[in-house]
Structure 1
């Protein structure tokens, strides 16, 4: 562990300090006991005590009598933590959090790290080498002739988004059975901004919004930051728990339901037609809207059920994008909305980003129109099928149990140990995992974790996992 001129205590303190700054250790997290930490790191207890004293002096941790050392809440970031919500008693008060459940930002920060030798099991995207192609460069060349470059660079683009891309998207969505016109489509800076535009337009602070649980950690964090009251809806293999939704509707009059119908993150579940019809009936009866996040549409099963198709964009808003499958840094996403909502949604877009970069939108339109994206997605799906098969065998060989049938990019596995504790041990080995607590509206210990099939198909991660499991257990 010794490096440069730092003492062992200083090195250990800096390791913990960096994780606290990166919010890999969030406020309220208990550090390992002195004896545990000494055993884990191969150090003397006195060295650990000295390291913890340094963290105390920096104001990063606090000592609680007879309990140990805990990460302190930093100034200006205070969180309001309500009691965990009990779906069986949906008429009672709702626990509200004003910050992410554990650290939604940790996985996002990991996306921006320079590529290393180790594939990261907690990542939410395909490895860059999977998405490499030659047609993106060719498409960019076609749309950057001198005149086209000047036209696209020297004036703002169209408010709704590039007309060519919206026409291409119209044809794509109509091919899925979604009755939509180009004037109902608004391009955005990725699907995340599309979701943000919807919630900022339809909701105000204090409104109730139903969100599937387990669910996308960033969505929980984003809605919390907006001051909304989250109503977690358990996600079952066929769809959201309809009984819980019905009780929410009676007790809290929610304004919105956020759903990943197809290849749900993190379970991989797909919505059944019967569940879709019932959700739409509830939306009509209780006057709420459904925003359907179809981020994984490019790797979805053929003829998967989508509420927006069944509803015809009456009480649904469809959201998707291309960052997962093609060009993450292009940040091209879009939404398709009921005609009556388009102008209000567009106003929100204009107030936040004005317009979106039309050059990249035009290049993407060419890739779709010429069939290159479709063929690229087919290659990705075939490669993912092989990776998933290998990853499942390795996970089961390491003692994990899949609590949802493996599908899509992610696996939802039970490790049998507290995965937040496991995550800290694996960080020492250079691996960032996605512990189950990250996917819940209110933080609670969990033995579950989400794995990325594309980055867990090699034995090396599972060897480290199996070696550390007994110590965590």
Structure 2
């Protein structure tokens, strides 16, 4: 709670709290601030204090007042002048008694505006508190520390001539040959027919996705992406100037009727899909849907990028488009950040032979090549079976965490919009999760509200939780209290 002091007024403290979160992008562009009345109740201050604080935010160009609707976070990178201070009072007269706007009033994202994902990305680097973070996208550090074989592999690699050889040259453009050989064997286990010459290492899976997009797309090209989906992918494609076409994702796979209409009207160049343990729903593609998606790709001449980031957490027999297609129209992307260490940044892609050289040109233009030392160490971990055994332990531990987290979520009055699977749960809360995320941040918890997983930022009652960080009953008690307060206003 805010505390009155001789040096800083309540108004200054409140304005600074919002300003810090906006500048850190923990409150993303387009997010709606609480109404004056609601904020005053939450913070235990008078409405006049809130009006004065919002006035300061307006003067700093951090928010804008929309008549009859409230205050919204501005894009601080825009060149347009900030709203004038004093507008808060006029807006307050219209909205102090208003609640959250209806979805229809919020409207879709205007054409050409930036799709915002930085709240989720920056949350990866921002520790809201020492508490487990429900919105986290990776395993807790304590879990990953169990992979003690990795430092040993690095010591072994650097203790040889490889350290000098790897440091004094750029290395192989496609990536370390040893790693590409073991990756080819790994892909064969998934029935993906990729030779080492068709595999290229990257700086994480996100880099692999970026290489594919920059190679196959130009500004204005339409791209189909599953929705809900990874907000970083929406934002990245938007930043490249692509036209993002959201395809609803269901339990069986993408909405084939929507895809067919897009193909007829827009002739998309690319379809980006997470077939296995889809983020955020946890859905896995069925063979029937996969077959029809590949038929559409053949009929309408587009490529498919299959993001298999969670492959180490999924069954080997899970349906993958790349396995059915045989790397003809599909490009396979994966990495090791989720299962081993986020900061190792080792990813890879497997592509049709006729695309490899074009993709390699793009890689060379962006990073020249990738660090061979970590790649050699990773190849050693895979070749000796250490990664496989580690993944088995992590899957078992994740299953136990998922069971406990699901039980606590249900006891807290939530339901699941998708059958719980993998690392993430797609949870129905019954309240606006943008507003909920702001309240929970005051309590030290960073959430991943559902609006972040849609191409158009609209009010949403869903949120994504990480099963490994929501086993704490204390979080769910705070969650219940905050939700109850939100419903009683």
Report the TM range for the smaller structure's normalisation.
Answer: over 0.9
- What aligned pairs does 1:182-261 form with structure 2 within 5 A after superposition? 182-261=196-275
User: In structure 2, what is the Cα distance between the partners aligned to 1:318 and 1:77?
Assistant: 39
2:124 aligned partner? 111
Counterpart residue number, 1:359:
373
Q: Say which of 75, 99, 111 aligns to 2:114.
A: 99
Structure 1: distance between partners of 2:334 and 2:4:
47
Asked if residue 377 in structure 1 is aligned to residue 391 in structure 2, the reply is: yes
Tell me, in whole angstroms, the C-alpha distance in 1 between the residues paired with 2:34 and 2:78: 26
Matching residue within 299, 322, 330 for 2:336: 322
Name the structure 1 match of 2:32.
Answer: 30
Matched residue, 1:46: 48
Hey, what does 1:166 align to over in structure 2?
180
- Please name the residue that 2:86 is paired with: none
Choose the corresponding residue for 2:403, options 389, 407, 414: 389
What is the CA distance between 1:47 and its match in structure 2? 2.3
**Change in 2 beyond 3 A, CA 1:115/1:60:** closer
What is the aligned partner in structure 1 of residue 95 from structure 2? none
Is the Cα contact below 8 Å between 1:12 and 1:48 reproduced in 2?
yes
Task: Kindly state the Cα deviation for residue 59 of structure 1 after the two structures are TM-superposed.
Answer: 2.5
- What's the offset of the Cα at 1:109? 1.4
Q: What CA deviation, in whole Å up to 9, does each residue of 1:55-86 have, x standing for no partner?
A: 233222334455543333434378xxxxxxx9
Q: Give the SS at the match of 1:451.
A: strand
Q: Could you report, residue by residue, the CA deviation over 1:140-159 in whole angstroms, capped at 9, with x for unpaired residues? A: 01110252211000110100
In structure 1, C-alpha distance between the alignment counterparts of 2:380 and 2:143, rounded to whole Å: 21
TM-score w.r.t. structure 1 length? Answer: 0.93
Structure 1 28/185 Cα, relative in aligned 2: closer, same or farther at 3 Å? closer
Partners of 2:135 and 2:447 within 8 A in 1:
yes
Q: Choose the corresponding residue for 2:417, options 389, 403, 423.
A: 403
Q: For the residues of structure 2 that align with 1:295 and 1:149, how far apart are their CA atoms?
A: 29
Distance change >3 Å, CA 366–CA 50, structure 1 → 2: same
- The equivalent of 1:122 in structure 2 is 135
Q: TM-score, normalised by structure 2?
A: 0.90
Partner of residue 293, structure 1? 307
Offset from partner CA, 1:179-198 (integer Å, 9 cap, x none): 11100000000000000000
Please, which runs of 5 or more residues in structure 1 have no aligned partner?
A: 79-85, 87-92
SS at match of 1:446: coil
Residues 426, 432 of structure 1: 8 Å contact kept: yes
Alignment correspondent of 2:452:
438
Q: Report if the CA contact (8 A) 2:412-2:480 is conserved.
A: yes
Query: Shift in Å at residue 48 of structure 1?
Result: 2.0
Match of 1:81 in 2: none
Call closer, same or farther: CA 1:37–1:342 in 2, change over 3 Å: same
Task: Count residues in correspondence.
Answer: 458
Deviation at 1:50, TM superposition (A): 2.6
How far the C-alpha of 1:98 sits from its partner, in A, is 3.6
Aligned to 1:136: 150
How far 1:110 moved relative to its partner?
Answer: 1.9
In the alignment, what sits opposite 2:14? 12
Across the aligned residues of Structure 1 and Structure 2, the Cα RMSD in angstroms comes to: 1.9
Q: Distance in 2 between matches of 1:410 and 1:231?
A: 24
